[in-house]
Amino acid sequence: MDSSAIAPPAAPARTPNVTDYDTARAAFSWDEARDALDGLPGGGLNICHEAVDRHAHGTRREHTAIRWLGRRSSRRDISYGELAELTSRFASVLDDLGVGREERVFALAGRIPELYVAALGTLKRGAVFCPLFSAFGPEPIAQRLELGDARVLVTTPRLYTRKVAALRERLPGLRHVLVACRPGEAPPEGTRDLAELLAMADPQRPVEPTRPEDWALLHFTSGTTGRPKGAQHAHEAVVVHHASGRMALDLHPEDVYWCTADPGWVTGTSYGIIAPLCSGATMLVDEAEFDAERWYGILADERVNVWYTAPTALRMLMRIGAEPLAGHDLGALRFIASVGEPLNPEVVVWTDQLYHRPAHDNWWQTETGGIMIANLACREIRPGSMGLALPGIDAAVVDRARDGTVRVIDEPGVEGELALRAGWPSMFRGYLDQPELYARAFAHGWYLTGDLVRRDADGFFWFVGRRDDVIKTAGHLIGPFEVESVLMEHEAVAEAGVFGIPDEVAGQIVKAQVCLNPGVAWTPELQRELLGFARSRLGPAVAPRHIGVIDDLPKTRSGKIMRRLLRARDLGLPEGDVSTLENGTP
Ligand code: AMP
């Protein structure tokens, strides 16, 4: 073993689900993974049944499914039995509203219990669940509701009033807005009180007999150009959620599990709702935002066994230092995993030193629906590596030529694009209304991920970067085009180019360069105004943190903004290949 590798514990607190990687890989079959679930009579499959009803009808009825910790001191435990009834009620509300199978139910809310009930109840109904990030501004919200043809939106009175009310005219298909009111709060005009509807609904509404291929989830993701892409997932994805939860997160039914990802993004759904419940564990939901003292308190007091978090959060904890940990006993914590952006080796080493458990990086993306590559509990960690392809997943490094041919690179250590052999159960089934884009994501039986990686001689994958210009900031994927479009709506701006610049904590932050309209002068006031304009339209999660001015945007001869060049110039880096630059050499 390499000297920098971190060995798995010689005497683990609990025997991992996978004790030997090679054996598990050789023995693995998706049919067996399917058999580990219940299924529905006649070959049906439904995510909510596997996550909730299966346990509620069995011996785990009284077991706590969700432990919700309110922003202040409130808390609520929801058993599997209660969750089965609540989700039936939500499904029955959808019936009463005339929402049919595969119609879209969106959620825009913080981490409140109603969000989890809505997600699972939608799946129970056989409708499609689509989460939105509550820190989105009105523009990304409107665009996604429009593209997804939202029929129902579940939100809160505050978010509705601030972000959605003014958009209603743009959204004629959005028939019902259901709001989760706090005590004493009234539903705003144009919305209905969710609690009232739930109280009148049927707590025994059975699971819709969905088929494995039926559409279940819609997750928007971003590309370099064009509108957000709606990745469609089928109920069959639950096979991967369950299997990868066991293999990559080492989830056991007795575990208390905490995923800190927001349910507005894919991790917060696949692993912040579905996977832990499928395994019968207790999942924690913390309504509050990041706070080191609070987080250590939760890890210690709630006796968290498995913690799934993100590099940005770990870097923030590392920066704050060990002090807030004092007095908190993390003795119950058995396994730490991290996802979403590169996890720097120093953070892995630091987690190992401070918590006596290293963070296990893993890799996946919206399109893959579940974890594909992971550092496993039974194997050493090579800090900086994303780990090994999970059993059942065939991953390769490939070279994609301009003519579309794909060549698998067998030599270790050579950089190329990460490709996955198509056909795993949680593979996305389409980009909503963009079949050509979907077709272009595959070649010769491989799904091409857009990520550049290297694989070492032992099969460990190492992240290198993205092939395209998307920006990962604090784990959130941002499409530059979406930001540029909004900036160009400002009367002072003629054109905008958006790219990511390195940031010690968030990995990258969003920066824009704008060209001004003739006669407009660049002043600190205009800069402030543009920052505020972008923030109010896009929300703090998406808006640029820096905006600069430039005379001309570098473009290819076909008119595409060369964001890489903008970024290189901004950072004073080598400019690379500029042969396609429209206005010749700079
Ligand atoms: P999303 O679809 O928003 O989940 O973003 C997926 C992208 O995040 C991937 O294509 C990668 O570029 C990046 N990503 C996810 N996990 C990792 C990881 N462990 N290391 C580096 N990048 C990652």
Reported in sequence order, the residue ranges of 209-310 that DSSP labels E, i.e. its strands, are 215-221, 229-234, 256-259, 282-286, 306-309
Residue 266, both tokens: 């894919």
| Average pLDDT rounded to a whole number, residues 114-127 | 98
For ligand 1, pick from 224, 463, 508, 542 the residue to mutate: most ligand atoms within 8 Å of CB. 463
Topology of the domain covering 46-60+71-235 = Rossmann fold (3.40.50)
The closest residue, in CA terms, to atom 16 on ligand 1 is 340
Q: H-type helices in 335-413, by residue range?
A: 345-355
Nearest CA to ligand 1 atom 19: 363
The string of pLDDT tens digits covering residues 215-251 is: 999 999 998 888 899 999 999 999 999 999 999 999 9
- Sheet strand arrangement including 493-503: 493-503, 507-516, 546-549
How far is ligand 1, taken at its centre, from the CA of residue 214, in Å?
26
Closest CA to 211 of 241, 232, 233, 234: 234
Protein residue with its CA nearest to atom 21 in ligand 1: 342
365 C-alpha to center of ligand 1: Å?
5
Residue 415, C-beta contacts closer than 8 angstroms, at least 6 positions apart: 397, 452, 453, 454, 464
pLDDT > 70 fraction of the chain, expressed in percent and rounded? 98
Q: What is the mean pLDDT of the segment spanning 378-383?
A: 97
Where does CATH 3.40.50.12780 sit in the chain? 46-60+71-235
The pLDDT value recorded for residue 401 is 87
Residue 70: burial class (beta carbons within 10 Å; 0-12, 13-18, 19+): middle
Top mutation candidate among 262, 362, 363, 471 for ligand 1, by most atoms within 8 Å of CB = 363
Task: Output the CA 188–ligand 1 centroid distance in Å.
Answer: 38
Structure tokens at 326: 């004092």
Which of 266, 343, 347, 365 to mutate for ligand 1's pocket (most ligand atoms within 8 Å of CB)? 365
Q: Which of 38-52, 125-139, 193-207, 393-407 has the lowest mean pLDDT?
A: 393-407
CA distances from residue 167 to 65, 174, 250 in whole angstroms, order as listed: 36, 10, 43
Say what the pTM is: 0.95
- The residue-averaged pLDDT of 291-307 equals 98
Measure the CA–CA gap between 536 and 269, rounded to whole angstroms: 26
Closest C-alpha to ligand 1, atom 5: 365
pLDDT score for 583: 56
What's the gap in Å between 224 CA and the centre of ligand 1? Answer: 15
- Return the residue whose CA atom lies nearest to atom 22 of ligand 1: 341
In a mutational test of the pocket of ligand 1, which residue from 368, 426, 472, 482 has the highest number of ligand atoms less than 8 Å from its CB?
472
Ligand 1 geometric centre to CA of 210 (Å): 30
Given a contact cutoff of 8 angstroms between Cβ atoms, the answer to whether 427 and 447 are in contact is yes
Atom of ligand 1 at shortest distance to CA of 476?
3
Cα gap 224→385, rounded to integer Å:
26
CB 333 within 8 A of CB 299: yes
Give the confidence band of 585 by pLDDT, cuts at 50, 70, 90: very low
Q: Where in the chain is the domain with CATH 3.30.300.30?
A: 469-571
Average pLDDT over residues 371-381: 98
Question: Exposed, middle or buried: residue 250 (CB in 10 Å: 0-12, 13-18, 19+)?
Answer: buried
Average pLDDT over residues 387-408: 94
Q: Which fold has domain 469-571?
A: GMP Synthetase; Chain A, domain 3 (3.30.300)
Q: Whose CA is nearest to atom 1 of ligand 1?
A: 365
Query: What is the rounded distance in angstroms from the CA atom of residue 467 to the CA atom of residue 471?
Result: 11
Q: Which residues line ligand 1 (CB under 6 A)?
A: 221, 266, 339-343, 361-363, 365-366, 386, 449, 451, 463, 466, 472, 477
**Which tens digits make up the pLDDT trace of 252-271?**
999 999 999 999 999 999 99
Q: Are 88 and 202 in contact (CB under 8 A)?
A: yes
On whether the CB atoms of residues 164 and 153 are closer than 8 A, the answer is: yes
Higher pLDDT, 54 or 226: 54
Determine the average pLDDT of the residues in 127-153.
97
Other C-beta atoms lying within 10 Å of the C-beta of residue 582: 14
Cα of 182 vs its chain's centroid, Å: 27
For ligand 1, atom 9, name the residue with the nearest CA. Answer: 365
The count of residues in the chain is 586
> To the nearest whole number, what is the mean pLDDT of the chain?
95
- pLDDT of residue 426 exceeding 60, the answer is yes
Closest residue CA from atom 15 of ligand 1: 340
For atom 4 of ligand 1, which residue has the closest CA?
365
pLDDT over 80 (residue 1): no
Handedness of CA 416, 395, 372, 333 (dihedral sign): negative
